């Protein structure tokens, strides 16, 4: 029997990641997703739910307050960018606490904590990959996400800057960004995509990665700063 799950998170990107992860696990069935706790509370009152993947910081009604309302009727896995909420989350008897951004492997560990009989959870499709292949110098080159620093867009090509080297790739920025995991990579300028995990320092005008100052445009500033403030 599958566990009936719902997602409660006010961030579309976070919901999309969880939908992908849940869809890749054979023992989970996603029955609803909600952008605020009030919508979820209304759904819970008329539907059976086994597991809730619940963000903590949301407008109007927080995830912590929703958990207090439903008490122990549903197993809760908290998902948030704020480590300081972990203790209070566990005080509410949460099954687990996922700190954003979290990997598919970490997500699976949370699923296995929900019920011991699901310890043999199977993945129904290919897990989230940790690399891409790009064509550079007439050959396909593997780029590990953990080694990718930032991508620089030029007139008709891009430069991919990694820890070890810089590759020239003839691919559109708009196509390339679709191939990168949204929880680690962000576009901060029409000419730059960065790995947020590689940021050393930042201001409202730029981020610093390996002593390189990368400009932040007005178009992307609010989204980036909001993300970094929650990290």
Q: Tell me: the pLDDT tens digits for 28-48?
A: 999 999 999 999 999 998 899
Q: Are 50 and 3 in contact (CB under 8 A)?
A: yes
* CA dist., res. 92 & res. 229, Å (int): 25
Question: Going edge to edge, which strands form the sheet with 212-215?
Answer: 201-202, 206-209, 212-215
Taking the model in full, what pTM does it have? 0.54
Q: Are 194 and 209 in contact (CB under 8 A)?
A: yes
Please give the helix or strand (H or E) that residue 89 lies within, else none. Answer: helix 86-91
Q: pLDDT tens digits, residue range 159-183?
A: 999 999 999 999 988 888 878 876 6
pLDDT score for 85:
60
pLDDT score for 126:
45
Mean pLDDT estimate for the chain: 86
Q: Are 71 and 94 in contact (CB under 8 A)?
A: no
Q: Are 74 and 51 in contact (CB under 8 A)?
A: yes
Kindly list the structural domains of the chain, giving each domain's residue range(s) and its CATH number in brackets, ordered by start. Answer: 3-118 (3.40.50.2300), 131-230 (2.40.50.1020)
pLDDT score for 128:
52
Q: Are 156 and 170 in contact (CB under 8 A)?
A: yes
pLDDT score for 91:
56
Over residues 195-217, the mean pLDDT reads 95
């Amino acid at each position: 029997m599958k566990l009936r799950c719902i997602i409660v998170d006010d961030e579309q990107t976070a919901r999309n990641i969880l939908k992908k992860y849940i869809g890749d696990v054979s023992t989970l069935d996603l029955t609803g997703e909600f952008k605020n706790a009030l919508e979820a509370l209304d759904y819970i009152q008329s539907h059976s739910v086994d597991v809730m993947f619940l963000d903590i910081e949301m407008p109007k009604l927080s995830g912590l307050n929703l958990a207090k309302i439903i008490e122990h009727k549903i197993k809760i896995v908290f998902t948030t960018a704020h480590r300081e909420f972990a203790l209070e989350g566990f005080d509410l008897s949460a099954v687990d606490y996922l700190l954003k951004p979290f990997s598919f492997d970490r997500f699976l560990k949370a699923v296995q904590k929900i019920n011991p009989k699901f310890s043999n959870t199977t993945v129904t499709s290919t897990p989230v990959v940790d690399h891409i292949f790009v064509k550079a110098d007439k050959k396909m080159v593997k780029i590990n996400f953990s080694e990718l620093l930032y991508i620089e867009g030029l007139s008709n090509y891009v430069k991919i800057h990694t820890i070890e080297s810089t590759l020239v790739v003839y691919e559109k920025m708009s196509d390339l960004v679709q191939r990168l995991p949204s929880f680690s990579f962000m576009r901060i300028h029409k000419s730059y995509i960065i790995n947020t995990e590689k940021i050393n320092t930042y201001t409202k005008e730029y981020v610093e990665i390996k002593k390189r100052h990368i400009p932040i445009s007005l178009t992307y500033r609010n989204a980036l700063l909001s993300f970094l403030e929650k990290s």
